[in-house]
Structure 1
Amino acid sequence: MASSATSSPAPASLGLGLGRGGLLLLADDEPTSAPPLPGLMRLRCAVQHYDWGRRGADSLVARLADDTAADGRPCAELWMGTHPTAPSSLAPDVSLRDWVARNPAALGRDVAARWAGDLPFLFKVLSVAKALSIQAHPDRDLARALHALRPDAYRDANHKPEMAVAITEFRALCGFVGTQELKEVLRTVPEVRELVGKEDAAKLMSVKEQNEGIGVRPYLQSAFTNLMAANEEVVSEAISKLKCRLDGESKVRALTKKEKLVLSLERQYPGDVGVLAAFFFNYVKLNPGEALYVGANEPHAYLSGDCIECMATSDNVVRAGLTPKYRDVETLCSMLTYNQIFPEILRGVPVQPYVTRYTPSTDEFEIDHYFLPPGKSVTMSAVAGPSIFLVMTGKGEIKAGSVPDEAKLKEGNIFFVPAYTEVNLLAFGPGCMQLYRAGVNSIFFS
Structure 2
Amino acid sequence: MDRLVNTVRPYAWGSVTAIPALLGREPTGEPQAELWMGAHPGAPSRADRGDGPRRLDELIAADPEGELGAATVARFGPTLPFLFKVLAAGIPLSIQAHPTLDQARAGFAAENALGLPPDAPERNYRDANHKPELICALDEFDGLCGFRPPAGAAALLAGLKVPALDPLIALLRTGTESEALRRTLAAVLTMADADAAAAVRDTAEAVDKAAADDPAGPYAPYTRIARDFPGDRGLIAGLLLNHIRLRAGQALYLGAGVPHAYLHGICVELMANSDNVLRAGLTPKHIDVPELLKVVGFTAGTPEVLRPEPVAGTPGEELYPVPIDEFRLSRFVLDGRDRLVDGRTPQILLCTAGTARLTAADGTALDLARGESVFLPADDTATRLTGTATGTTVFRATVTL
Q: TM-score if structure 1 supplies the norm length? A: 0.81
Q: What residue in structure 2 maps to residue 173 of structure 1?
A: 144
Q: Does residue 310 in structure 1 map to residue 270 in structure 2?
A: yes
The correspondence for 1:371, drawn from 333, 338, 353, is 333
Question: Which residue type is aligned with residue 197 of structure 2?
Answer: S
For the residues of structure 2 that align with 1:363 and 1:161, how far apart are their CA atoms?
Answer: 11
Q: Compute the displacement of 1:301 (Å).
A: 0.2
Select between 143-152 and 336-345 the one with higher mean Cα deviation.
143-152
For each residue in 1:11-57, what CA deviation from the matched residue of structure 2 results, as whole angstroms up to 9, or x when unmatched?
Answer: xxxxxxxxxxxxxxxxxxxxxxxxxxxxx1111111011111111xx
Correspondences of 1:402-413 after superposition (within 5 Å)? 402-413=361-372
For the residues of structure 2 that align with 1:433 and 1:116, how far apart are their CA atoms?
Answer: 34
For the residues of structure 1 that align with 2:223 and 2:333, how far apart are their CA atoms?
Answer: 38
Q: Does residue 356 in structure 1 map to residue 315 in structure 2?
A: no
Change (3 A) 1:312 1:350: same
Contact residue 23 and residue 370 of structure 2 kept, 8 A: no
SS in 2 for 1:225: helix
Q: Does residue 62 in structure 1 map to residue 20 in structure 2?
A: yes
The correspondence for 2:173, drawn from 196, 200, 205, is 205
For the residues of structure 1 that align with 2:108 and 2:229, how far apart are their CA atoms?
Answer: 28
Change (3 A) 1:205 1:394: same
Change (3 A) 1:335 1:249: closer
For the residues of structure 2 that align with 1:78 and 1:288, how far apart are their CA atoms?
Answer: 18
Change (3 A) 1:415 1:203: closer
For the residues of structure 1 that align with 2:203 and 2:281, how far apart are their CA atoms?
Answer: 17
SS in 2 for 1:145: helix
Q: What residue in structure 2 maps to residue 82 of structure 1?
A: 39
Correspondences of 1:9-408 after superposition (within 5 Å)? 40-55=1-16, 58-59=17-18, 61-70=19-28, 72-91=29-48, 92-105=52-65, 106-148=67-109, 149=111, 150=116, 151=118, 152=120, 153=123, 154-191=125-162, 194=164, 197=167, 201-202=169-170, 204-206=172-174, 215-247=176-208, 253-254=213-214, 257-351=217-311, 352-373=314-335, 375-383=336-344, 385-400=345-360, 402-408=361-367
SS in 2 for 1:257: coil
SS in 1 for 2:318: strand
For the residues of structure 1 that align with 2:12 and 2:266, how far apart are their CA atoms?
Answer: 15
Q: Compute the displacement of 1:249 (Å).
A: 5.5
For the residues of structure 1 that align with 2:208 and 2:371, how far apart are their CA atoms?
Answer: 44
Q: Which runs of 5+ in 1 are unaligned?
A: 1-39, 208-214
Question: Which residue type is aligned with residue 364 of structure 2?
Answer: D
Question: Which residue type is aligned with residue 81 of structure 2?
Answer: P
For the residues of structure 2 that align with 1:369 and 1:103, how far apart are their CA atoms?
Answer: 28
For the residues of structure 1 that align with 2:228 and 2:174, how far apart are their CA atoms?
Answer: 35
SS in 1 for 2:93: coil
Identity of aligned residues (%): 36
For the residues of structure 2 that align with 1:246 and 1:394, how far apart are their CA atoms?
Answer: 41
Change (3 A) 1:246 1:359: closer
For the residues of structure 1 that align with 2:211 and 2:355, how far apart are their CA atoms?
Answer: 49
For each residue in 1:50-76, what CA deviation from the matched residue of structure 2 results, as whole angstroms up to 9, or x when unmatched?
Answer: 111111xx31x2234454333x21111
Q: TM-score if structure 2 supplies the norm length? A: 0.90
Question: Which residue type is aligned with residue 319 of structure 1?
Answer: R
For the residues of structure 1 that align with 2:206 and 2:157, how far apart are their CA atoms?
Answer: 15
Q: Which runs of 5+ in 2 are unaligned?
A: none
Question: Which residue type is aligned with residue 288 of structure 2?
Answer: D
SS in 1 for 2:365: strand
For the residues of structure 1 that align with 2:368 and 2:304, how far apart are their CA atoms?
Answer: 34
For the residues of structure 2 that align with 1:67 and 1:157, how far apart are their CA atoms?
Answer: 36
Q: Compute the displacement of 1:267 (Å).
A: 0.5
For the residues of structure 2 that align with 1:301 and 1:379, how far apart are their CA atoms?
Answer: 36
Compute the RMSD of aligned alpha carbons: 2.1
For each residue in 1:242-263, what CA deviation from the matched residue of structure 2 results, as whole angstroms up to 9, or x when unmatched?
Answer: 2334555667x43663322222
For the residues of structure 2 that align with 1:311 and 1:87, how far apart are their CA atoms?
Answer: 15
Q: Compute the displacement of 1:369 (Å).
A: 1.0
Q: Which protein is bigger by CA-based radius of gyration?
A: 1
Question: Which residue type is aligned with residue 302 of structure 2?
Answer: F
For the residues of structure 1 that align with 2:12 and 2:296, how far apart are their CA atoms?
Answer: 26
Q: Compute the displacement of 1:189 (Å).
A: 3.8
For the residues of structure 2 that align with 1:282 and 1:122, how far apart are their CA atoms?
Answer: 26
Q: What residue in structure 1 maps to residue 398 of structure 2?
A: 439
For the residues of structure 2 that align with 1:121 and 1:406, how far apart are their CA atoms?
Answer: 25
